[in-house]
Chain A
Amino acid sequence: MKTSTHSTMTLSLSAIALACSLNLAGCAATQSTTTEPVAAAPSFVMPSYQKITLDNGLTVNLMVQKEVPLVTLDAVIKAGAVNDTTSGLAYLTSQSLMLGAAGQSKADIEQQLDFIGASVNTNADAEGTYVRANMMSKDIDTVLAIFSNVIRQPDFDSAEFDKLKQREIVGLSQQKESPRAVISRYFSKLVFGQHPYANPASGNSESIATINANELRAFHKGYYQPNNMTINVVGDFDVKDMTAKLNKAFGDWQVTETVMQPDLSQDLPTLTKPRVLLVDKPDAIETTFLIGGVGIRYDNPDYVGLTVVNTILGGRFTSWLNDELRVNAGLTYGARSGFSPYSQSGLFQISTFTKSSTTKEAIDLALLTYSRLWEKGIDQATLDSAKAYVKGQFPPKYETSGQLAGLLSDMYLYGMNDDFINQFQAKVDGLTLAETQRLVTQYFPQQNLQFVLIGNAAEIADIATQYGEVTQVSITDTGFGQ
C-alpha cells in the first residue's frame, strides 16, 4: 500500500483487517503544472436537518439521506474519561450497556440484532459516550426498542460484567503489543499530567479490576440524563414518523439528577521543560515516536486556518514531514502531524516511526523540518495548493449517514453550529500568507517539546537523553506512564 493510516489498531481483528488507506499529510513547495485551470468547486454546505426538543429537554436532530435504505441512530452523552472517578469507568459503563437491558439478556439482544443485520455499538472517549445503531430502514422499530432500553434501563448484570472486565484486562495487554495502538495514551498523560484530559478512556489493568456493577449504576445515573445528551438520526426515514417513534421511546424519560461536570478550563498544564518518556519494548524492531505539546480547543476560531497550515506541515502526502522523512530520506513509511482538539484544550503532535538504528536520524530530521515553520515559513504556491487540497477533500468526509451523524455529535459535544461546515470554504479562501505566520507563532508549540518514544531502550536510551529530561517505563508496566 502506498500510504497507511496511523489510526489506532484495536484488538478487533476485523478492525485490523479493514484498516485501509488514509493518505498521509505533509507538503513541499508546489509548482502547479495542472493542465487546466481548476474551476471553483461548488461550496459544500451542511445538509438540511430538523432539530426538535422533546418535553423532557432531550434534543433530537433528524437528517434525511436517501442514498441507501439504511438509518444511523446515534446517542451522544456528555460523559467521558474526564468524568472518571476510577480510571476506565466511563468506557466500561458504555461497554456494559450491551450486557443486558430491561430484563432482556445480552445473548437475546445480540441474537435479535444480528438476525436483521443491525448493530448497536458503544464507546467512550475523553468527553463523550456514544451509542450507535445501524440498521435497514425497515427494522427501525426493532432496533429503536433495544437502543432505548440499553440507554435507559441497562441491567449491569454482575456475572456478565465480571467476564467483560476480564476480557478488557487481557485486551489491554494485547493493545500494548502494538506501539501504534497505545502511544497516544502515553502522550496525553505526559502532556496533561494531573489534568482530567490525561485520563486514558480505556483505564488500566489495575483500575478496571476494582470496578463493580454498583459503580456502573452510579455513573449511569449521574450522567445518562435526557438533558445531558442528544440523539442524531441520519438516513432513509420519514421525519414525522420518526419523531413520533422517538417521542414514544424517550419522551417519558425524566431528568432525575443534576449533572455535575468538572471545569476543564482549570489547571491546564504549563510545560516548562522538554521531557522524554521512553517506553521500553525489548523486542521492538522499530522506534515509534510522537513529538509535540498543547494544541487547541475544538471551537477555536482559527481551527480551519490551522487545518490548512497543518496540511502543509504534516497533513498530506506531499507535506514537509512526509516529503523529508519518507520521500527524501527513506527513513519511514510515513510521517505526519495533527491537532487533536477537546472542548477546553487539545494536543498537537508529530508522529512517525523508523527502524531502531535510525531513531536519532529520524527525530532530528523531524525537528529540523518542523523548525521550517519559523525559519522559512510558507510560500504562496504551497498555500494555494494546500487550500485546494483541503477544499477538494472536504465533501467525502461527510458522505455517509454515519459520518454526518458523527458530525452532529461532535457539534453537540464541542459546542459548534452549522457554521463549522458552512463557513469552512470561506475561511479557507480567506487565509493569507500573513495569517499563516500569525497561526504558526500563536499555536504551534516551539519550546519545551514533549516526546514519547516506544522502542528497545537498550538501543535508544542514550539517544533519548538528547531531547529532554528522560523518564523510562516498561511497556508492560500498568497504565500509560507516571
Chain B
Amino acid sequence: MTRKLIALLMTLGVLSTPSVSATQAEDINSFTLDNGMKIMVLEDSSIPNANMYIFWKVGSRNEVPGITGISHFFEHMMFNGSKKFGPKMFDRTMEAAGGANNAYTTEDMTVYTDWFPASGIETIFDLEADRIANLDINPEMVESERGVVQSERTTGLENSNWRTIQEALKSVAFSAHPYSWSVIGYESDIAAWTLEDLQQYHKTYYAPNNALVVITGDVKLAQVKALADQYFAPIPAQAPPKVVRTVEPEQKGERRVFVKKESVSTPNIMLAYHVPATSHADYYALDLLASMLSEGNSSRFYQALVDKQLAVAAETYMPMSFDPNLFYILGVANAGVSADTLEKALIEQINLIASQGVTQQELEKVKNIKLMDFYRTMETINGKANTLGTYELYFGDYTKLFNAPEAYNKVTPADIQRVAQTYLIKANRTVGVLAATEESDK
C-alpha cells in the first residue's frame, strides 16, 4: 500500500550540485484559497501531459479501534459516486478524457493522483471538486467495495512476507499509538464499519482546509488559478480535525513476535526501533544511516550478510512520518541459516556502527547515492508532484526539498554514531520472526 511510494520518497533529498536544467525552488508557485486549500503549481512542458496530486492530512493515525482501515477504505469510496458524477462515472469520465488515476493511503495521509493530457485539466477539476463537495456514499457500493478491500488485504498477505510480518510487528512495537495497526486495518473492522462512520469521516477530513493540491506539467499558473477559483474556492471550510493525542510511551525493553506461515522457505527477521518524527533534526542522520546499512552491494548488510551467504537479502526502511515511528530492518535467511543466527548477525552490524562509527568516505558515498535518487525522481512530472507535496507536509515547507543538500551535508560521522547509539538499542527494539515452523518448548 502506501508504504511503497513513501519508501521511494524517503530516499530523496540531497542536492549538493544543483543543475541548470533541474527544477529550482523558485520555479514553484503556490497560493491559498480563502477556504484554506493550498495549491502548488510547477509548469513543465517536457511532455504534453499534466497531473493533479491531492494530499489529504488523514491516514490510519486518525483512526480508533472499531474503524481501523477506514482511511484506506475511504480512499476507495472516493471513486464510487458523487452528486454530478454518479457511481462509476468518475473513472469513466476521466478515462474518456484520456486521463488515468490512482490513490494511496499511508499512516499519515491519503493521496489522490490524476494523470491526464494537459488539455483535459478542466475535466479533472470538475471531477475532483464534485467528490470533495458532494460525495454520495452509496450503500450498495460500500458492500461491493468491502469485498475489494478484503481482496486487497488477502493478496498482500498471500504475496508479501513484508506485509505479513510488519502487520504483526507493529501491533507489538506500538502499545498505545494508532500506528499500532496496519493501514489496511483489521479484517473484522473492514466487514463492520457503517455508513454513518463513512459520512462522518468525509465531513471531518475531506475539507479544503485539510488538503494540499500539487499540479505539475504542461499547464499555466493563471489557468490553474482560474480553475481553482471556479471549482475549489466555493467548497466551504470545516472545523479543523481533532489532533491525535496519544503519544507512544517510551519502550523499556525488547519485545518479540513470531508469525508462522508454512510456505515460507527460510526465516525472515524484522527488527524495528522507535525513532522520532520526520520533522526532528535527527531525520537526516537516520536516513543516511539506513542507506549505509543497505544500499548497494558495498553496503554493510550486503558485505557482512549476503556476501557471507548468511542472508539472501537485507534491507532497511524508514517511512516519513508525522509522529514518532519505526526504523525497520528486514533480513531473509539463506538456506540452512537459523532465525537466531540471522538476527544476531543483523544486530552485530548495527552495534558495530554504534561502537566503531563510520568513515567520512562511507558517508560521502551515501550522499552521492541520494543525489542520484533525487535526480531520478525529478525526471518525471509525477515524481516532482509527489515529492513536492510530501516535503511540504512532512517538513512543513516544500523549500526544504531544495535545502535538503545542506541538511544532509551537515551530517558528520559523529552524528551517525550518535543516532545509532541513541535509537538503535536493544531496549528500544522489537524483533519479528516469520518462519514455517516455530521452535518447540525445550
Contacts and interface: CB of A to CB of B under 8 A. Distances in A.
Interface of A: 1-4, 9, 11-14, 16-23, 27-28, 30-36, 38-42, 44, 66-70, 106-107, 110-111, 113-119, 134-136, 163, 166-167, 169-171, 173-174, 176-181, 236, 281-286, 288, 316-318, 323, 326-333, 353-355, 384-385, 388-389, 391-393, 395-396, 399-401, 475
Which 4 residue pairs across A and B have the least CB separation, nearest first?
A: A392-B98, A330-B147, A117-B372, A330-B144
Contacts of A68: 19, 21-22, 375-376, 378-379
A323 B88 contact: yes
B307 A285 contact: no
Interface in B54-95: 72, 75-76, 79, 85, 88-89, 91-93, 95
Contacts of B155: 180, 286, 333, 353
A29 to B, nearest CB: 9
Contact of B150 (A34, A114, A355, A388): A355
Name, among B92, B123, B157, the residue most crowded by chain A CB atoms within 10 Å (CB to CB).
B92
5 contacts: A17-B315, A34-B93, A114-B297, A284-B158, A285-B157
Nearest to A41: B117
Given A35-B126, A67-B46, A114 B365 contact: yes
Interface string B115-141: 111111011001000000000000000
A418 B116 CA distance: 24
Given A1-B105, A163-B307, A282-B262, A388 B97 contact: yes
Contacts of A110: 296-298
Contact of B113 (A21, A27, A385): A21
Contact of B96 (A34, A166, A170, A327): A34
Contacts of B93: 32-34
Contacts, number: 302
Interface stretch (B234-242, B328-336, B344-352, B409-417): B328-336
Contacts of A170: 265-266, 312, 334-335
Nearest to A330: B147
B119 to A, nearest CB: 4
A285 B154 contact: yes
A178 B5 contact: no
B147 A329 contact: yes
Contacts of A23: 100-102
B158 A286 contact: yes
A390 B104 CA distance: 23
B298 A114 contact: yes
Contact of A286 (B21, B154, B370, B373): B154
Contacts of A329: 144, 147
Contact of A21 (B5, B72, B299): B5
A115 B265 contact: no
B174 to A, nearest CB: 20
A389 B262 contact: no
A135 to B, nearest CB: 8
Contacts of B98: 38, 41, 388-389, 391-393
B279 interface: no
Contact of B95 (A1, A134, A318): A318
Given A1-B105, A69-B19, A333-B149, 6 more contacts: A1-B4, A11-B312, A35-B126, A40-B119, A170-B312, A284-B263
Contact of A392 (B97, B146, B368): B97
A66 B126 CA distance: 35
